[in-house]
């Protein structure tokens, strides 16, 4: 399959996204971990993993996942805003 399509990271990210949606979590996690190992500054893959964690984890674990992400990619404004939204909702 990769001979016809190539080894484009976007393809593997999209494939991982599909795997997450249809329940092939191990396959998706393997794909995303391979992509992250290949390029440590790949924010798109890290955000894909975060979006999956948002659907699966409870709020405290998700907040911890966001904090872990921000310790690596501290300049990501969107994730800071999402974390702020969670804290704001918790206060109400």
| Residue-range domain boundaries for the chain | 2-91
3-state secondary structure of 89: helix
Give yes or no for residue 3 having a pLDDT over 60.
no
Q: Give the confidence band of 22 by pLDDT, cuts at 50, 70, 90.
A: confident
Give yes or no for residue 41 having a pLDDT over 80.
no
Give yes or no for residue 5 having a pLDDT over 70.
no
Q: How far apart are alpha carbons 82 and 65 in whole angstroms? A: 12
Q: Give the confidence band of 47 by pLDDT, cuts at 50, 70, 90.
A: confident
pTM: 0.66
Q: How far apart are alpha carbons 43 and 59 in whole angstroms? A: 22
Which comes out higher in pLDDT, residue 7 or 69? 69
């Amino acid at each position: 399959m990769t001979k016809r399509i190539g080894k484009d990271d976007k393809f593997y990210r999209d494939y991982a996204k599909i795997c997450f949606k249809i329940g092939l979590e191990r396959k998706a996690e393997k794909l995303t971990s391979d992509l992250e190992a290949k390029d440590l500054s790949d924010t798109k893959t890290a955000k894909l993993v975060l979006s999956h964690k948002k659907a699966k984890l409870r709020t405290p674990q998700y907040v911890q996942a966001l904090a872990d992400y921000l310790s690596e990619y501290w300049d990501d404004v969107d994730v800071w805003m999402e974390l702020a939204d969670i804290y704001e909702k918790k206060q109400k």
